[in-house]
Structure 1
């Protein structure tokens, strides 16, 4: 038996008036998921423990079978693991986003965040801008590390864990009340804006109609994580397939292997087929028992507030990931179980994460059953199965 999770980050949503009261998952054309649903168990599961922040960090730890209350030490340290940062116990790691501010003729604190991802900036462009700022800001106490796209890390030696607001929670808002109270962190953000707003690369981006990447934004602080090895807990050899540093860092901490897929970038136009095929090859041609395929695009489109693009991301997941995985595993002749689910909802209305339960679909190729339902929030809720702890889903999948 082989096992696979297909995780559509932020895929769950709310009914939307312009979709006739449907969610993007209901409105999307998903023939493969709907076919599987008729031979699957569907239900709802709560991935975010009560009182914890509804981030992709806590949610994906939960789906992977790690109770966030026990294992979570912050988002940024997990990402730092992915890019090879050597953390000391006294280090505090922060996410350093490069965001787009409005560039209005006003003080820094009166600017607004236009885009938390700077138009899904490429890693190559982001590195140029990171280097320009870090040349001035970096010292023995504050070290910067380039990650992927707009997502980077800052390590504060002997630092403090400060509660800072994620930039996707401040979209279209004046930033003043959300800036760090720590004067050094605040000044670093301000100085990054002064350096970047007229950087030649940003002038070029604006001339092309692209959002400039014109300010650092610190958030997601934490200390070095200590996860138990996935194989020690579940006795399965697992592989992580994701474009984002957070998931790759979780894999490093859990001592899972990672597959780096060329062209996978965490955006809408990622290499979906490459991810799917990497999972099929790992499960059929290599000695892996379990694959975790993480697709970031639905979440990014939720943050952008785009109904059309979120639907497109979900349809891509159906046709360009799940279809390939199903056909590849069917052709192998080996039985398999596939769990399809989001980590958390990212409602278009809010453009940020919420901690509501999410719909799951568990397909077992060895069991043939016929139901009438499709896979979406409404029908999963009506199915009546409610699971209270997301971290129990991994044991359920592997049972």
Structure 2
């Protein structure tokens, strides 16, 4: 039996006034997901802990069964690797965002992402900043990476006010959307990281002097890639570089993901003949960050109609539908809320529809790290 693992990025939500106190998933007309729920099993799943709102890469690693406090090595190295930037031993790599300023404060709202997109001239100016052993590289959209080619410690804080380091390299997203915020000074977590923090702060200051109404936010410093187990029997189709990086490091077959959902389902049906398949769909997370619950509901309906409908009848396959984290529209940010999960192809449960509320009502509660183990090891669950 094969596994089709579908991750709807940011699926979990909270009741919304504009949806008559329902979540987008609960309010959506999704006959195919509901069919899978009626004929499968659903429950609630904690991604990391009740106190940590995961980043997407941390969420994915947890879904793949890793203890991220032991495995995760920072967002920076994954961001670089996923964008085909070669990583050398001794480098410290930091994820960067271009951000909009309003009266010297950061307007932290995804609506302003387009305003934060740098021009070619701005990128050129930042790439030409001269600091010994340091180089900036633009990646996609408003993102980039900062590379320090000097054997320094990566144990520093984030200047990005929306993400806080909580333990080792693991961060939590903070509910700070739609607010004006001050950029944070980078501080070292250990004495030997003092030079690292000083270099990053120097770069941020120089970048700020070159950009008009923008700044550079930094987070996720790391100096190595995570060591992941071999998953060469899997194919991955994902939207974002960090998920692609995790797929590559796991020896998965990386296939370019089309934007068209029907085309995506065709590729899935082709790949599932020989491999397990991991699919990440980003669309609904972006709508959550913009506080668009009605549009999020419609996006879920679109996924159900044009993707799930085409894959639900695949034979000899366990179908998993879940999320890497919750992104409640009213927060406009990731949260630590449990995510709903659905497994079709195992023993039938009692649910009639797929939603956060119905998932809680089943009483089935698991941690993300146990999901694949349930599929691989606990054969008693299979029909």
TM-score (norm 1): 0.80
Partner Cα separation in structure 2 for residue 216 and residue 398 of structure 1: 43
Query: How many angstroms does 1:59 deviate by?
Result: 1.1
Aligned 8 A contact 2:98 2:215 in 1 = yes
Partner Cα separation in structure 1 for residue 305 and residue 44 of structure 2: 23
Aligned 8 A contact 1:78 1:253 in 2 = no
2:110 is aligned with 1:115: yes
Higher strand share: 2
Partner residue, 1:203:
none
Higher helix share: 1
Partner residue, 2:30:
30
Query: How many angstroms does 1:255 deviate by?
Result: 1.7
* Change in CA separation of 1:50 and 1:12 when aligned onto 2, cut-off 3 Å: closer
Partner Cα separation in structure 2 for residue 156 and residue 117 of structure 1: 29
Partner Cα separation in structure 1 for residue 297 and residue 121 of structure 2: 32
Aligned 8 A contact 1:6 1:292 in 2 = yes
2:100 is aligned with 1:100: yes
2:270 is aligned with 1:291: no
Partner Cα separation in structure 1 for residue 70 and residue 224 of structure 2: 14
2:307 is aligned with 1:321: yes
C-alpha distance after superposition, 1:163-208 (max 9, x if no partner): 213658443333325354545434534544554438xxxxxxxxxx
Partner Cα separation in structure 2 for residue 258 and residue 372 of structure 1: 34
Partner residue, 1:178:
184
Partner Cα separation in structure 2 for residue 114 and residue 179 of structure 1: 20
* Change in CA separation of 1:30 and 1:18 when aligned onto 2, cut-off 3 Å: same
Which of 254, 257, 267 is residue 253 of structure 2 equivalent to? 257
Aligned 8 A contact 1:49 1:69 in 2 = no
Partner Cα separation in structure 2 for residue 224 and residue 116 of structure 1: 33
SS in 1 for 2:304: helix
* Root mean square deviation of aligned Cα: 2.7
Query: How many angstroms does 1:225 deviate by?
Result: 2.2
Query: How many angstroms does 1:222 deviate by?
Result: 2.1
2:239 is aligned with 1:243: yes
C-alpha distance after superposition, 1:66-121 (max 9, x if no partner): 2212211112212222122232343222111223333xxx4x3x343343772398
Aligned 8 A contact 1:100 1:115 in 2 = no
Structure 2 residues not aligned, in runs of 5+: 163-172, 188-196, 378-383
TM-score (norm 2): 0.83
Partner Cα separation in structure 1 for residue 221 and residue 128 of structure 2: 22
2:355 is aligned with 1:376: yes
Spell out the pairing of 1:71-220 with structure 2 (5 A cutoff): 71-102=71-102, 106=103, 108=104, 110-115=105-110, 118-119=113-114, 128=120, 131-137=123-129, 139-157=131-149, 158-159=151-152, 160-164=154-158, 165=160, 167=162, 169=174, 170-176=176-182, 178-180=184-186, 182=197, 184-197=199-212, 214-220=214-220
Partner residue, 1:230:
230
* Change in CA separation of 1:243 and 1:277 when aligned onto 2, cut-off 3 Å: same
SS in 1 for 2:343: strand
Structure 1 residues not aligned, in runs of 5+: 199-213, 263-269
* Change in CA separation of 1:183 and 1:223 when aligned onto 2, cut-off 3 Å: closer
Number of paired residues? Answer: 354
Partner Cα separation in structure 2 for residue 374 and residue 308 of structure 1: 19
Which of 289, 295, 299 is residue 303 of structure 1 equivalent to? 289
